[in-house]
């Protein structure tokens, strides 16, 4: 009889311990309370009013999550984040709109200096103006139509320099290259123009500077309906005359299709006795960093330096120093020629990781523009949605360190051959 009681006691103890462990794991799990983009509700109309108490609760909800998850808050909320939060709370009036809450939350998140931590208006309408422009050297220049080459002075009477200043106060970025790349896109869309304080209905008035002559023109908003060109996220092209093959990767999706395409690429490279290859990451916004390790398996190195990381689990920080990784090579398909990587200011996240991994290990040279985020940066995104307004926002819970720790403070991966991204392929051919 005593033996039966002991067995029952042991079983109960095992169950209790198991439950405690499960509860502890759930408690420190960074993904607790997150929501996928597919599960999100549309944000409330941005002109809809909230009560002051609701707006305060929304901002408090976000700041508590920063304090609980973001690596910069491991020892408490960063002072600049706390100061911005208190300023936004103090400036709320009786009935703030969803738009005002969106801008307030954006200014708080911007203080993290983490390009992956941003606030979004989810389900925004897709209307925009049909114009192409680029922001460089403190000027917004039109790139298409009869106005090509002309400088834009203002939108609905607001000077471009003032819009840019406001943009920088609300947009999450890690280097100025990414900010300058994104600014023109925010000026084209109706809902982001509102986010910048430009009230817009069916059209906006743009004032151009044509060699000192100021001319204004109305631009109507229209739905984004340009047909998308269907093409694989990973593909390759061949220039047999120049003996260079280019693997284009528009998204860092690590799956069987990626692995099979890369294998086919290197198989044909070997068969054709190619001397130089390039990886085109100019339109790649990231996803899974494993794509880089898979690519390195085709290069003739036994080991390579990999990224280090700090990972936050509540008050516990797991630290992994930059270290040597063994390269599990595909010995029958190794490529010993020259490798180049094409980058732009929109090369971001895992795409930056890809380029940095090859560059820091002296496995490739970079052609194009500086990357859109820091080589050593925050990463791994957590998604949330606010309870009342349904505005969404993202945070991170990791920080990565580039393989070349001596360059840890650099704001971007700088190219070996700097050139505007649209000319990077021509530069590749020139170099070869």
Over residues 274-287, the pLDDT tens digits come to 889 999 999 999 99
Res. 117: pLDDT tops 60: yes
In a domain, 228, yes or no: no
Which of 223, 253, 278 is the last residue before a domain boundary? 223
Lowest-pLDDT choice from 3-7, 118-122, 210-214 = 3-7
Query: 74 and 41 share a domain?
Result: yes
Domain boundary among the residues 81, 99, 120 is at 120
158: in domain: yes
Mean pLDDT across the chain, nearest whole number?
92
DSSP assignments along 358-427, one per residue? HHHTTS-EEEES--SS-SS-EEEEEEEE-TTT--EEEEEEEEEE-S-GGGTT-SS---SEE--GGGHHHH
Determine the pLDDT at residue 7. 62
307-340, pLDDT tens digit by residue? Answer: 999 999 999 999 999 999 999 999 999 999 999 9
In a domain, 91, yes or no: yes
The verdict on 258 and 318 lying in the same domain is yes
> Both 151 and 90 in a single domain?
no
**120 strand-pairing partners:** 392
Q: List the CATH number of the domain containing 162.
A: 2.30.42.10
What is the percent of the chain where pLDDT is above 90? 84
Q: CATH number for the domain including 407?
A: 3.90.226.10
Choosing from 201, 223, 245, the residue where a domain stops is: 223
Does the pLDDT of residue 393 top 60, yes or no? Answer: yes
List 234's β-bridge partners, or say none: 249
Q: Are 119 and 393 in contact (CB under 8 A)?
A: yes
Distances 70 to 80, 206, 312, 328, 342 between C-alpha atoms, Å: 14, 40, 7, 34, 31
If asked whether residues 264 and 174 sit together in one domain, one would say no
**Strand, helix or coil at 34?**
coil
d(CA 81, CA 66): 9
Domain shared by 156 and 298, yes or no: no
Q: What is the pLDDT of residues 224-252, one digit of tens each?
A: 665 555 689 999 998 877 788 999 999 99
SS3 69: helix
Query: In terms of domains, do 258 and 216 share one?
Result: no
Q: What is the pLDDT of residues 67-114, one digit of tens each?
A: 999 999 999 999 999 999 999 999 999 999 999 999 999 999 999 999
* Cβ(41)–Cβ(120) below 8 Å: no
Count of positions (residues) in the chain: 432
137-187 confidence digits (pLDDT tens)? 999 999 988 999 999 999 999 999 999 999 999 999 999 999 999 999 999
Helix, coil or strand: residue 310: strand
307 belongs to a structural domain: yes
Half-sphere exposure of 399 (CA within 13 A, CB side): 18
CA pair distance 256, 273, nearest whole angstrom: 26
Count of domains for the chain? 3
Q: How confident is the model at residue 21 (pLDDT cuts 50, 70, 90)?
A: very low
Task: Looking at the structure, tell me whether residues 65 and 136 fall in a common domain.
Answer: no
Compute the distance between CA of residue 192 and CA of residue 181 in angstroms, rounded to an integer.
15
- 173 lies in which domain range? 127-223
Nearest to 67 by CA among 82, 89, 87: 82
**Is 72 a domain residue?**
yes
Number of H helices, E strands in the chain: 11, 21
Residue 113, domain member (yes or no): yes
DSSP-assigned beta bridge partners for residue 1: none
Provide the pLDDT for residue 339. 98
Residue 17 has pLDDT above 60, yes or no: no
Same domain, 107 and 214: no
Q: Are residues 85 and 132 in the same domain?
A: no
Q: Within this chain, do residues 321 and 374 fall inside the same structural domain, yes or no? A: yes
Q: Say how far apart CA 340 and CA 384 lie, in whole Å.
A: 38
Give this prediction's pTM: 0.91
Same domain? For 49 and 146 the reply is no
Residues 394 and 266 in one domain: yes
> What percentage of the chain reaches a pLDDT higher than 70?
92
How much is the pLDDT for 239? Answer: 80
In tens, the pLDDT along 178-215 reads: 999 999 999 999 999 999 999 888 899 999 999 899 99
Q: How far is CA 338 from CA 72, 199, 300, 402, in A?
A: 39, 52, 12, 22
Q: Is the residue at 406 inside a domain?
A: yes
Whether 389 has a pLDDT exceeding 80, the answer reads yes
């Amino acid at each position: 009889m005593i033996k039966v009681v002991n067995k029952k006691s042991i079983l109960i103890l095992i169950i209790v311990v198991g439950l405690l462990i499960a509860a502890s794991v759930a408690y420190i799990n960074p993904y607790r309370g997150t929501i996928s983009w597919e599960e999100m509700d549309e944000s409330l109309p941005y002109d809809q009013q909230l009560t002051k108490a609701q707006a305060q609760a929304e901002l408090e909800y976000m700041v508590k999550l920063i304090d609980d998850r973001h690596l910069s808050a491991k020892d408490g909320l960063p002072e600049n984040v706390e100061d911005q939060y208190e300023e936004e709370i103090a400036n709320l009036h009786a009935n703030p709109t969803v738009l005002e809450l969106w801008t307030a939350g954006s200014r708080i998140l911007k203080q993290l200096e983490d390009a992956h931590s941003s606030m979004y208006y989810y389900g925004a309408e897709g209307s925009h103006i049909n114009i192409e422009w680029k922001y460089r050297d403190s000027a917004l220049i039109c790139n298409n139509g009869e106005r090509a080459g002309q400088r834009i002075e203002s939108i609905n009477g607001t000077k471009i320099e003032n819009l840019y200043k406001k943009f920088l106060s609300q947009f999450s970025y890690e280097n100025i290259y990414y900010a300058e790349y994104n600014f023109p896109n925010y000026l084209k869309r109706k809902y982001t123009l509102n986010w910048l304080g430009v009230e817009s209905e069916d059209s906006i008035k743009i004032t151009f500077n044509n060699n000192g002559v100021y001319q204004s023109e109305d631009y109507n908003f229209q739905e984004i309906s340009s047909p998308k060109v269907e093409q694989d996220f990973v593909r390759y092209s061949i220039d047999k005359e120049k003996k260079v093959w280019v693997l284009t990767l528009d998204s860092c999706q690590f799956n069987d299709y990626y692995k099979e395409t890369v294998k086919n690429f290197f198989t044909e490279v070997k068969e054709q006795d190619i001397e130089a290859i390039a990886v085109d990451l100019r339109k790649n916004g990231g996803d899974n960093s494993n794509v880089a390790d898979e690519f390195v398996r085709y290069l003739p190195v036994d080991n390579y330096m990999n990224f280090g990381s700090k990972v936050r689990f509540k008050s516990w920080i797991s630290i992994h120093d930059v270290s040597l990784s063994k390269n599990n090579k595909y010995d029958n398909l190794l490529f010993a020629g020259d490798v180049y990587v094409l980058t732009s200011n929109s090369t971001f996240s895992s795409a930056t990781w890809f380029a940095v991994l090859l560059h820091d290990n002296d496995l490739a040279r970079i052609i194009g523009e500086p990357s859109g985020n820091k080589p050593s940066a925050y990463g791994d995104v957590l998604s949330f949605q606010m309870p009342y307004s349904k505005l969404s926002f993202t945070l991170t819970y990791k920080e990565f360190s580039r393989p070349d720790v001596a360059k840890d403070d650099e704001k971007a991966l700088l190219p070996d051959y700097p050139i505007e991204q649209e000319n990077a392929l021509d530069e590749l051919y020139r170099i070869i």
